[in-house]
């Protein structure tokens, strides 16, 4: 694969039942790609809107319950942000207004809520989290009984129901909640059941002062690991603050100081994990995809010998998988697109450089703790260090340049840009990649180059960026 440009079609999007037209998608005001996000206490994450979501979800649940005699239930979980409890109580209050019960898991991971939702008798789940964002942000993510995010058409339906209730001017009355520890234990027991035997390893684990701080210690205690814990003292405001997967330097330092076998870092809601090998080198999601893909193939469990990644995954991953007889499929950036392609192809493994890795045999979403178990299992069973395993991937030099533009035009119409892209691909001759795309939210063109040398990377990012500036102007 010599290169890509943004007008290349990677795959057709899945047509979910009840898919929306473009006009309907644009009509949505609240739901983004990962639920409703914003600053806690301000629209759309104020008390009334959270209550409205609960009411809308409850009304929808009553319409779709299997039996009119059954009272629907929704499970609610949250990360460690200080706004989580009142948001949960407002969602629960809205559910109660619609005649729906709420079960509260308390502090739990996003994949934990997805697991409880799909294995329990719940019509839906709500996770209150803003993932890797600062504490003052938060979000409301609704998960269907299948364990996947709601279809777009259902989100639009919820928005209409929310608007109807908000228009009544009724007060947002919270419903007090008490966490049920049995729910958290169900998820921890499930994770523990995906592995067997002991793990005599010395590891450093950074829980980002987030959801993993509640779940991971109970789990790792069962594994027989010697663990040095970081980021396990959440105070409502220190989630992701100079810790976790966004700040691997702390794990690196502790791994080197203690001579640990490896380090693991989660983000705020623990749906992703990144690793640090004993030498201090960072092992990202690409490396995990290679290790896991190779392991599954040897066990005869890699369906179709296919791994799904995104356009941002390093060419080194593609080459390493190819050498093992594994095909790598690329999608646009976003775990949503990775999951869609996995479903389409029946793939059991997919993910992103950022550490979102989906093992569909075990979960319907990226799960950082599950990923860490798979990596520990591979290290133990291979009797190799993480450094030795990661050495099997040659990472190509990569550079991303953002070019601010005055306006956007289809890339195919930019002759000088296309000429530079073609020249780069000709020079790379299959040993490099060009990805040029526009940002969906900002006046930016993004130029990503991978090549065999840093000199080539610098040369072609500069030339293509300059061609874009000449064609589209530079917005300062």
Residue 473 confidence (pLDDT) above 90 = no
Query: Which carries the bigger pLDDT value, residue 151 or residue 401?
Result: 401
Homologous superfamily assigned to 193-390: Alpha-D-Glucose-1,6-Bisphosphate, subunit A, domain 3 (3.40.120.10)
pTM: 0.88
pLDDT of residue 357: 97
Over range 345-354, report the average pLDDT: 96
Euclidean distance between CA atoms 453 and 263, whole angstroms: 29
Task: Answer whether residue 248 shows pLDDT above 80.
Answer: yes
Average pLDDT of 285-291?
97
Say which of 59, 131, 295, 372 is annotated catalytic: 131
Q: Which of 13-22, 309-318, 365-374, 420-429 is predicted least confidently?
A: 13-22
Which of 116-130, 149-163, 250-264, 358-372 comes out lowest in average pLDDT?
A: 149-163
pLDDT at position 186 over 90 = yes
What is the average pLDDT score of the chain?
Answer: 91
CATH 3.40.120.10 range(s) for the chain read 31-183, 193-390
> Which tokens hold the place of 36?
């409703």
pLDDT at position 363 over 70:
yes
Is 6's pLDDT higher than 80? no
With contact defined as beta carbons under 8 Å apart, do 293 and 321 qualify?
yes
User: Given CA atoms 401, 268, 212, 33 in this order, what sign does their dihedral have?
Assistant: negative
Q: Which two tokens stand for residue 285?
A: 């999601």
Q: Which tokens go with 414?
A: 């930019």
String of DSSP letters for 223-290: HT-EEEEES----SS-TTTT-GGG-THHHHHHHHHHT-SEEEEE-TTSS-EEEEETTS-EE-HHHHHH
Residue 13 confidence (pLDDT):
32
Share of the chain above pLDDT 90, in %: 81
What is the model's pLDDT at position 2? 36
Question: What's the pLDDT tens digit per position in 33-78?
Answer: 778 999 999 999 999 999 999 999 999 999 877 666 588 999 999 9
Average pLDDT over residues 393-400: 91
The boundaries of every CATH 3.30.310.50 domain in the chain are: 398-472
Asked if the bond preceding 44 is cis, omega within 30° of 0, the reply is yes
**Residue 377, pLDDT above cutoff 60:** yes
Residues 410-452 have pLDDT tens digits of 999 999 999 999 999 999 998 899 999 888 668 899 999 999 9
Given this model, what pLDDT does residue 152 score?
Answer: 84
Could you confirm whether 131 is annotated as catalytic? yes
Q: Please report the pLDDT score of residue 11 as a whole number.
A: 31
Instruction: For domain 31-183, give the fold.
Output: Alpha-D-Glucose-1,6-Bisphosphate; Chain A, domain 3 (3.40.120)
Give the separation between CA 289 and CA 291, rounded to whole angstroms: 6
Contact 119, 60 (CB under 8 A): no
Topology of the domain covering 398-472: TATA-Binding Protein (3.30.310)
% of residues, the chain, pLDDT over 70: 92
Residue 196 is predicted with a pLDDT of 93
Between residues 378 and 22, which one has the greater pLDDT?
A: 378
Mean pLDDT is lowest, of 160-164, 253-257, 262-266, 406-410, for 406-410
pLDDT for residue 28: 57
> What is residue 442's predicted lDDT score, i.e. its pLDDT?
80
| Residue 391 in this model has a pLDDT that exceeds 60 | yes
Q: Is the pLDDT of residue 25 over 60?
A: no
In this predicted model, what pLDDT tens digit does every residue of 80-124 receive, in sequence order?
Answer: 999 999 999 999 999 999 999 999 999 999 999 999 999 999 999
């Amino acid at each position: 694969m010599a290169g890509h440009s943004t007008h290349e079609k990677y795959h057709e999007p899945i047509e979910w039942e009840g898919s929306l037209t473009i006009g309907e998608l644009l009509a949505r005001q609240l739901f983004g790609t990962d639920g409703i996000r914003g600053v806690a206490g301000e629209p759309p994450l104020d008390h009334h809107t959270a209550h409205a979501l609960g009411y809308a979800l409850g009304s929808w649940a009553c319409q779709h319950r299997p039996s009119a005699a059954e009272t629907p239930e929704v499970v609610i979980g949250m990360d460690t942000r200080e706004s989580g409890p009142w948001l949960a109580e407002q969602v629960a209050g809205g559910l109660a207004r619609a005649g729906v019960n709420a079960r509260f898991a308390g502090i739990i991971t996003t994949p934990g809520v997805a697991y409880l939702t799909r294995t329990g008798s719940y019509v839906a789940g709500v996770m209150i989290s803003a993932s890797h964002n600062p504490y003052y942000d938060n979000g409301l993510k609704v998960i269907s009984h299948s364990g996947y995010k709601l279809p777009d058409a259902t989100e639009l339906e919820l928005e209409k129901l929310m608007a109807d209730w908000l228009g009544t001017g009724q007060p947002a009355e919270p419903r007090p909640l008490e966490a049920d520890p049995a729910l958290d234990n169900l998820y921890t027991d499930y994770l523990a059941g995906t592995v067997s035997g002991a793990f005599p390893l010395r590891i450093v684990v950074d829980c980002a002062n987030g959801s993993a701080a509640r779940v991971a210690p109970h789990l790792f205690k069962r594994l027989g690991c010697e663990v040095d814990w970081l980021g396990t003292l959440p105070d409502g405001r220190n989630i992701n603050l100079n810790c976790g997967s966004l700040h691997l330097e702390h794990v690196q330092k502790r791994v080197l100081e203690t001579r640990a076998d490896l380090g693991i870092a989660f983000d705020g809601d623990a749906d992703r994990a990144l690793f640090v090998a004993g030498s201090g080198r960072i092992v990202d999601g690409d490396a995990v995809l290679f290790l896991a893909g190779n392991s599954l193939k040897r066990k005869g469990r890699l369906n179709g010998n296919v791994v799904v990644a995104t356009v941002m995954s390093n060419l080194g991953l593609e080459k390493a998988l190819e050498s093992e007889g594994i095909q790598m499929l690329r999608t646009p950036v976003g775990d949503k697109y990775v999951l869609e392609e996995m479903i389409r192809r029946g793939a059991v493994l997919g993910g992103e450089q950022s550490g979102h890795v989906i093992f569909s045999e075990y979960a319907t979403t990226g799960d950082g703790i599950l990923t860490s178990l798979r990596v520990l299992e591979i290290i133990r069973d291979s009797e190799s260090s993480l450094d030795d395993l990661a050495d099997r991937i040659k990472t190509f030099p990569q550079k991303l340049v953002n070019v601010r533009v005055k306006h956007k035009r289809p890339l195919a119409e930019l002759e000088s840009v296309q000429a530079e892209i073609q020249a780069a691909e000709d020079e790379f001759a299959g040993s490099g990649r060009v990805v040029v795309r526009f940002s969906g939210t900002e006046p930016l063109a993004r130029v990503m180059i991978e090549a065999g040398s840093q000199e080539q990377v610098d040369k072609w990012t500069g030339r293509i960026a300059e061609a874009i500036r000449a064609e589209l102007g530079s917005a300062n």
